[in-house]
Amino acid sequence: MPDLDQIFVNLKHWLLGQLEGILSASWLELVSILLSLVPILIVFPTLFAIMTIMERKGLGRIQNRYGPNRVGPFGFLQPAADGIKALIKEDLVPRAADKVVHLLAPVILVVTAFTVYAVLPIGRNMVVLDLDAGLLFFFAVGAASDLAVFMAGWAIRNKYALLGAMRAVAQMVSYEIPLILSSVAVVMITGTLSLPEIVMAQSTHFGFLPDWFVFTPWGFAGFLLFMIAANAEANRSPFDLPEGESEIIAGYFIEYSGFKFALFFLAEYLSLFAICGLGITLFLGGWNAPFAGLEFIPSWAWFFLKLITLMCLFIWTRGTLPRLRQDQLMNLAWKFMIPMVLINLVAAALWHFTGPGFMRWLTSGALLIVAHLFLGNPQFERKDIGKRTYRFAE
Amino acid sequence: MLGAGIIKGMAETARNFLGSYVSAERLTTVQYPEERSPQIENARQFPFLVFDGDDPMKGLRCVACQICEKECPPKCIYIVKSKDKRVDYKGQAQFYPATFDIDLSVCMSCQICVEVCPFESIKMDTAYELSTADRFGGLLVNKHQLAKSNEHYRKFHPTDAAASDGALAVEVAKAQAKAKADVEAKAKAAADAKAKTAAAQSTPAPATA
């Protein structure tokens, strides 16, 4: 029986071994890079196709309708039909648009969305680039998507697109802070920026529970804050103001059609998968199995199982929550999430310095609960400003 | 507590999600080409021309007055008036449309042509599957395709058809009353004239005498 856990790693080494005598060392290195990259370029877009149909069917069921059910068995071939439709549609470029930037924006968005997978450990020994500062790389490359979004909104020369891009940049800049600070807590505890090492730090067991950071008070709070910020970073409902259909139609990609439009969707889902993957790596134990008895299931299967679970959670929240208003969005980021992540850093420090035992659960847990009750209580809001009134939008 | 409402809402959507697999009554979707929901009586889609009797072209109520053509907001109606006249349902000589075309791709189903027609001759139909493979000729509907019988109208819009029939009956009654009055007036005038001539014939006698 082959070792299922390492099957892909062994396959790559076997292929390279076959080619060793034939190719020179530099060519061999190129083949090795391609063998690492091509699976990522295939697996995640396939997951995107599966996730779109799951999302449409799930949202349909949440709204008491069937969802797509015509193409193929139970409508599961719908992504293929969507892809063909996107390919054969006319590619429209507005006359006033900056044509080069208009073309570059979706390309940059997709490239940055793919680049972050380089540091993501999707299984034991399965990471393309084991960087010492992998987490930093992830956030640095991920921040480039803001640029692509603004390029799209600016190049089209359409007021809705520009409004959407402005909203997108304001939102992404605001939520980048809680996103990064909530993962800094993990870096403080593990003392490393390397993602495979963060996964290794969570591979032990505490009683029957795994040592995942989500099962600690600071990790639980950090996970929730990370997921909310990830939701906002990916421009998904309830944080989909940049593409709010009811007021600015499609936001920054309003004038995109055909395959460029599909690229925007691909990039949106790819960055969502990537950021879910980072959430799994930081808080949900990465590719580790939850119980020692379940380790016969390969590590990469655990990673994708956790990824699909998190995606279902995202679909569920999308089907539940209405879109926020711009001021609510900013209030949530600056008045609740940023103070909470800062307190979470203190809680992580308390956890570290109190030492093992019951006391660290009590101190860091109590701090977070008190902070949540205080920051989340409407009674503690400033009263002297008065209720916001709207002259034109009542 | 912040977040309690979100959990409550998520429980509600989870109930919808699972419930839609358990009970079919939750799903309000009609699987369209196979099933159809019944149409409501006031449904309207595209105009048609009403005719009485058996022959669509002879029985058309339209007198080619061209009011609908002028009132149509998107200007989708095209009428050519006939050279000759023919007898309408009231027994009057009237023009009839030599050409009556409506452009299906332009019509916006506003029903203004129906509101302005003084002859109850154009009404709204409920048929909605009007797509065609021919995007030029197929979308220009001529008077032969537009003509539909009054029975068809009674079947789909019974209330409106009854009102229309009533209005027409009043018109016919009025026309008949007028015709009768005309006949009577004519008879009376004839009688008066007769009496006058008779009187005229009888009165000069004494003068000559």
What pLDDT does A178 receive? Answer: 92
**CB within 8 Å: B17 and A66:** no
**CB within 8 Å: B12 and A320:** yes
What single letter denotes the amino acid at residue A92?
A: L
Residue B56 inside a domain? The answer is: yes
Pick the more confident residue, B130 or B206.
Answer: B130
**CB within 8 Å: B21 and A61:** yes
pLDDT at B40 over 80: yes
Query: Is-contact A257 A88, C-beta < 8 A?
Result: no
CATH number of the domain residue B68 falls in: 3.30.70.3270
Count of pairs with CB atoms under 8 A, one residue in A, one in B: 47
Residue B4 inside a domain? The answer is: no
What pLDDT does A2 receive? Answer: 58
Query: If DSSP codes are grouped into helix, strand and coil, which group holds residue B98?
Result: strand
Residue B201 inside a domain? The answer is: no
Read off the pLDDT band of B203 (50, 70, 90).
low
What pLDDT does B61 receive? Answer: 87
Q: Maximum CA pair distance of chain A?
A: 78
Residue B123 inside a domain? The answer is: yes
- Shortest CA distance from B12: residue in chain A: A320
How far the first Cα of chain B sits from its last, in Å, is: 126
- pTM > 0.80: yes or no: no
Say how far apart CA A204 and CA A383 lie, in whole Å.
49
pLDDT tens profile A110-136: 999 999 998 989 888 888 888 888 899
What pLDDT does A1 receive? Answer: 47
Strand order in the sheet with B147-149: B122-125, B46-51, B147-149
**CB within 8 Å: B13 and A316:** yes
pLDDT tens profile A213-257: 888 888 899 999 999 999 988 888 888 887 777 777 877 888 888
Distance from CA of B7 to the nearest CA of A (A): 10
**CB within 8 Å: A320 and B6:** yes
Q: What is the mean pLDDT of residues B103-115?
A: 91
- Shortest CA distance from A59: residue in chain B: B17
pLDDT at B204 over 80: no
Mutation pick from B6, B8, B10 vs chain A, by most beta carbons of A within 10 Å, is B10
Q: How many helices (H) and strands (E) does chain B have?
A: 8, 8
How far the first Cα of chain A sits from its last, in Å, is: 68
Query: If DSSP codes are grouped into helix, strand and coil, which group holds residue A199?
Result: helix
Residue B55 inside a domain? The answer is: yes
Pick the more confident residue, B186 or A137.
Answer: A137
B73 is in which domain, residue-wise?
46-165
Residue B148 inside a domain? The answer is: yes
What pLDDT does A240 receive? Answer: 85
What pLDDT does A92 receive? Answer: 85
Looking at the 3D structure of chain B, how many domains does it have? Answer: 1
Ranges of residues in chain A with a pLDDT under 70 are 1-2, 380-386, 394
What pLDDT does B209 receive? Answer: 46
Residue B96 inside a domain? The answer is: yes
Residue B118 inside a domain? The answer is: yes
Q: What is the mean pLDDT of residues B30-48?
A: 86
- Shortest CA distance from A224: residue in chain B: B3
